[in-house]
Structure 1
């Protein structure tokens, strides 16, 4: 209507009034309401900024500058990246992600792997080469030898590289991303110091040896993005938790599948999840809920934490060494955390009060992955788009936000930035061509360079440099000795003679690393030499857990000695939960025997090792009763499929829950109780503490919120009824089935509801 308000503007104003009302209902400081209105007016629209304009939208830590490395059309929707030995960027472009709020066309094969190169050394990529195209939602990549690992759900491929063109293609894992949706599938493909490749949102690890791919179980870790520190410990997060991580080398402690949780892994490193955006961020999935936004409509806590990186280069200065940077695309910012060690514990805190390392006023700035570069810069992958939430859990509220500010298009943008100190001119370090150059690079100050040099040594399997590696191992400085240690392990050249001198002295942190490599060294001829050192390590609280973790390798050649050391350790530390869990981790299917021994030794029921062992035995009993009935899968095929797609990745395939993510569905009174209550939770979500089987689960032990699927058009009410009937009768559960009409009745009762339920409401 000429001279009047358009429908879109009226819709926008309606949403604006709703948000003003929301802000008015929340506790407000002085001037909060005015601030809220002013901020909302200032950011009423989210225009697409050019790369140059986007740079002006950033507020960055003093003393640093941010530079554009690549932007559309050179790069589009970057989600993952790796550098090759020459500093070129290999980038996964997830072009097909969420073309609209319904996810229309996500199955179109338009994803690519591209190579970006800076040929003149000015810090900007000036060439683009398409290595692979016609991919569906590629999500992770890693260079291994003369090939590239590529994750394209559900498969993991290894593709040989021939002059920057794809060669022979090998299927590494047909079920790399089995189950889950785009937000809840494995990713990362981090080549860790221990020569294995680890993923976030996964309990598998991979390694190429003698031309064949190995796949093993490991601890389940994180959601999106994974990184390591200078000691090879892994760090990760989930969408609502700043930083999680391990205290010990990643290959340890996963021997016992009966044990659901091993202390020292998946630890909450930075419990503070507060965020400090510099613009209103109403475009978050649960922005309508009290406490999600503050009185200025800014995100209070993480809702999309991802892409962590441990900074490992002197370029930023000593205060930044070993800092953890975490991306938050929903709040358009990057957080800095300071980490410190105390024994084998890693503690972390946010670097600043009430501000961030980097924040933007541009709503389309979507940092999803962070990397340390071979030049010492911090690299930022920015999807640069309006929609960041996947359709599976997209709320009507967020759909309205997307519509109000026209966030659906464009779909062909993407940015890569690097952050460096002001007035610095860092140069990419290019590792030389000879094996001797690679050994020398293990002493470089940049963690990426050291990692890459080690990988090149292991990939090439050049045994002629073993003497140089041994010399570095014996007399090297800093972290070069650790890289030499694991490089020798990767060459299958590490011997007891190399290791024994390393276990002298009082450097317990170094001893833990040396102990971690022993499973690759121990054999029948050297176990007698190494055994006394393992026994000695078991007598110290700082090394006892790692000494226990390696005992299965000892048991292959000296079973009696292994049992003797194990018994001595748990007798010495019966109330240390890290030692207790380590002991349980090496006694698969011998838990009852250990419990009998503990009771005979000391009848005290409060002993930590006894209590933790009894919990494992309960889990074993539950698991034995909880095997899925194939008849149930046949009766509810859609329910089983929906479980794998939207439930399994947080609640576990066995329904027993996953640490840091979600509580159990098995033996859950919420699942088997009143079906109307379960329907309401599945449709509209659940927030806050929840009690399951006598235990209260709350953040940060689990993710504090479970999203609902009421607004997802993919799932019919008949599908949702099948899902709940499946859950109510899976594993050890037994309850009345749910019908389509039951679901419809609950929808009718709560028509128009967006807000998640709390357990108090549902009572």
Structure 2
């Protein structure tokens, strides 16, 4: 029975299921953002004669199943254990399973090692999603009464939820995400059942929204902010139980983890691992700074995967290897039937304990449920930059021959073991994106049932008998837990100390921060003091001169230049590039002369990212700092050139799109020695990246109208220097003024009421789905998603972008002169009105002025391409479709 304290509005049922799991497709599978789904009873027919239910995932309607296998027998947990293959010296142990739990997707431990489990029991009981609109899910709390890691007691903490996505232990209960709410549920009576709730926000994901791209995995990070994957805000618990909300950069798709220094790691379906090398807050100070090279970095390039058995049951298994221009274009499956590249990665976990051999510490374990495996990658670091590599060649850390082994999250546990959450089912793809191929595979091989399984395993070295660590009840005994060699213990101790905020423990924390032998302990003691608002200049000063660079870097990040500037200035020649980079970001925008002098030294010793650091704190004041830099003697030019700071600042001015500031920038450029390094650098920043030699089609841009013709422009255009002339030629179409020869004031068609409604619907969908990859600014993410701003594919013939959105894109594509290697999934779940809304939004947002797209035009394009069942290539997209002929039919 549902607890009585839940509000009436919270029990409204959605008309769709909210799948959070990455699904078995090439990349991020999608679902309707506003809850609309295709009619379950609608029919589909084509030349093959197929007349069954229409499948929004598309693909050929009468596909051949590659590597047809007999129906796999559902295995008991004990039987499944025997299917696992692990490196010598490791074995898996069952922690919990059905009937105690069903369909687990995420877990979190409190300070007593009690495990909160998200049970998504309503998800996909068959390929039509029957019953998915019922609030049958729950958050359960499991206990290991013997402390040995075998969970033998269960209490339902919150019941009757509609497909919750996340849980995070906090205080006397847990944060729970049941879209659209993030709620703090409390157990004030100590019964294990929530009896009180506090709403943190009602905009944490969207009710009825696209779940795979909605917020998830709230995590108390080392900087004391609760950060989530795929969410544009973060939260900080305040004294009294309130939460501070702050803008954040949306990052990742499903799952979030951190290393010993608080750096964030996550991934997306077909992208194994990305990291933020620096805090997002540095960059968010300046929205004009769109170069964010330290955020969302693809640290793992190799996406190859090695299942131990054929895996025919993947959504795009019908796509075969082909040869194009003499080169092999890989399909989904290898000739032996195994998955070639990851397609459903999720829930990464950095292993941060010493139960495993030392070479495993700091490795990242990544579930791939479509391949029935866990991948292990090793991390390498140089100057604060991280790269990842497969730990094995041609094999994985953990594989299973059981097709229902579906790992979706990996964690370091309170006992130092590696915990694996297994949703344990044949169907992991939501009905909204099931292709005909996968439906046939599921039904022929009887994979719809059972749907009531669920397992949690832990991986343990042979001979080890790990025990769960529980924090002491007494607050004064908890600081000592920061010395643990288990990252989970340290993180939990930090969280609890910050929650309780007891000043009596401050001296112990200060001692740990200054003298403990472990740098990890020193850093976490510092962050604990920061969370308790108990940092002092003396403590920071000691840490600024720590022998370990990671401690110094953390201290710089926590410093207040108002009280520690003299000590910070001593670090300008620090041997660690990471320390210097944090210092450059910290000092950016500081008006003190000593800060400016130190920043100049940092610019001399660093590369282009130091130019980003210098610009990060100068939002709206880039011109002022440029003016300051340009007054430096020519002997300082080396400092300016190495960091590319002049170009970076000039680019920020252009992106600000302030006509007066752009005019001032041209005046500054014109005043520099003709053809000199400073002039060229700023012109480069204004011009932006040059288009590639192979780029085709028109160049799209949004000219900025100045108040009058800039005198400097005429001077620059008259230059005899070929480099200057080329740069000015790129800048010229970007700025206009009344009377400029050849320029005609564009007539922008106002949106009608119905078009404005489409725009608003598209904005909602974009914010739920597209924003994580293409970003709120539309500038995209390096290595993952190309920019939409001024993109020829967005602003050109709308039939091309319609085809991309509905069918997907595979292979290389040039966008604004840069080549991108993409495997973008289609979004066939959206109806014609929704596609028109998305496209109308991106063709009118960010100062775009392209015409809106009508639902009827989307209908006509879809009719013209109805026989196309695979993602498009660029060559195919360049061939126009006969929309009029299709419309006539």
TM-score by length of 1: 0.87
Instruction: State the Cα distance separating 1:315 from its structure 2 match.
Output: 0.8
Instruction: State the Cα distance separating 1:241 from its structure 2 match.
Output: 1.7
Whether the aligned pair in 2 keeps the contact of 1:629 and 1:730 (CA below 8 Å) is no
Equivalent residue number for residue 421 of structure 1: 461
Whether the aligned pair in 2 keeps the contact of 1:378 and 1:418 (CA below 8 Å) is yes
Once the two structures are superposed, the pairs formed by residues 495-574 of structure 1 within 5 Å of their partners are: 495-504=536-545, 506-519=547-560, 527=563, 530-540=564-574, 541-551=577-587, 555=590, 559-570=592-603, 572-573=604-605
3-state SS in 2 of match to 1:483:
helix
**Aligned residue pair count:** 711
Alignment deviations for residues 67-92 of structure 1 (CA, whole Å, 9 cap, x no partner):
11111121111111111122111111
Task: Summarize the Cα distance change of 1:319–1:412 in structure 2 as closer, same or farther, 3 Å threshold.
Answer: same
- Matches of 1:505 and 1:650 in 2, distance apart? 38
Q: Does 1:709 align with 2:709?
A: no
Q: Does 1:169 align with 2:292?
A: no
Alignment deviations for residues 558-601 of structure 1 (CA, whole Å, 9 cap, x no partner):
6444344334433x14x612212211211122233344555665
Instruction: State the Cα distance separating 1:614 from its structure 2 match.
Output: 4.1
- Matches of 1:208 and 1:630 in 2, distance apart? 44
Whether the aligned pair in 2 keeps the contact of 1:548 and 1:586 (CA below 8 Å) is no
Task: Summarize the Cα distance change of 1:459–1:752 in structure 2 as closer, same or farther, 3 Å threshold.
Answer: same
Whether the aligned pair in 1 keeps the contact of 2:758 and 2:836 (CA below 8 Å) is no
Gaps of 5+ in 2: 1-50, 53-59, 322-329, 658-700, 705-747, 879-889
Alignment deviations for residues 521-576 of structure 1 (CA, whole Å, 9 cap, x no partner):
x65xxx2xx21221122333442211122236x94xx6444344334433x14x61
3-state SS in 2 of match to 1:210:
coil
3-state SS in 2 of match to 1:538:
coil
Whether the aligned pair in 2 keeps the contact of 1:94 and 1:138 (CA below 8 Å) is yes
Equivalent residue number for residue 678 of structure 2: none
Q: Does 1:367 align with 2:407?
A: yes
Equivalent residue number for residue 151 of structure 1: 177
- Matches of 1:471 and 1:605 in 2, distance apart? 43
Whether the aligned pair in 1 keeps the contact of 2:251 and 2:772 (CA below 8 Å) is no
Once the two structures are superposed, the pairs formed by residues 256-335 of structure 1 within 5 Å of their partners are: 256-289=286-319, 290=321, 291=330, 292-335=332-375
Equivalent residue number for residue 272 of structure 2: 242
- Matches of 1:755 and 1:295 in 2, distance apart? 19
Equivalent residue number for residue 749 of structure 1: 864
Equivalent residue number for residue 617 of structure 2: 586
Instruction: State the Cα distance separating 1:408 from its structure 2 match.
Output: 2.7
Of 309-318 and 540-549, deviating more is: 540-549
Whether the aligned pair in 2 keeps the contact of 1:222 and 1:236 (CA below 8 Å) is yes
Alignment equivalent of 1:123, drawn from 149, 156, 172: 149
Instruction: State the Cα distance separating 1:136 from its structure 2 match.
Output: 1.7
Whether the aligned pair in 1 keeps the contact of 2:253 and 2:772 (CA below 8 Å) is no
- Matches of 2:522 and 2:850 in 1, distance apart? 58
Alignment equivalent of 1:443, drawn from 483, 486, 492: 483
Task: Summarize the Cα distance change of 1:709–1:193 in structure 2 as closer, same or farther, 3 Å threshold.
Answer: closer
Once the two structures are superposed, the pairs formed by residues 79-98 of structure 1 within 5 Å of their partners are: 79-98=105-124
Instruction: State the Cα distance separating 1:194 from its structure 2 match.
Output: 1.5
Equivalent residue number for residue 224 of structure 2: 195
Alignment deviations for residues 43-96 of structure 1 (CA, whole Å, 9 cap, x no partner):
432332111111112111111010111111211111111111221111111223
- Matches of 1:168 and 1:630 in 2, distance apart? 47
Alignment equivalent of 2:249, drawn from 205, 219, 231: 219
Whether the aligned pair in 1 keeps the contact of 2:149 and 2:415 (CA below 8 Å) is no
Instruction: State the Cα distance separating 1:483 from its structure 2 match.
Output: 1.7
- Matches of 2:764 and 2:523 in 1, distance apart? 45
Task: Summarize the Cα distance change of 1:17–1:267 in structure 2 as closer, same or farther, 3 Å threshold.
Answer: closer
Task: Summarize the Cα distance change of 1:544–1:645 in structure 2 as closer, same or farther, 3 Å threshold.
Answer: closer
Alignment equivalent of 2:134, drawn from 108, 118, 127: 108
Of 736-745 and 45-54, deviating more is: 736-745
Whether the aligned pair in 1 keeps the contact of 2:63 and 2:318 (CA below 8 Å) is no
Task: Summarize the Cα distance change of 1:320–1:536 in structure 2 as closer, same or farther, 3 Å threshold.
Answer: same
Alignment deviations for residues 347-377 of structure 1 (CA, whole Å, 9 cap, x no partner):
2211100000001111221111111111111
Q: Which has the larger radius of gyration?
A: 2
- Matches of 2:794 and 2:359 in 1, distance apart? 49
Alignment equivalent of 1:691, drawn from 803, 814, 817: 814
Q: Does 1:484 align with 2:512?
A: no
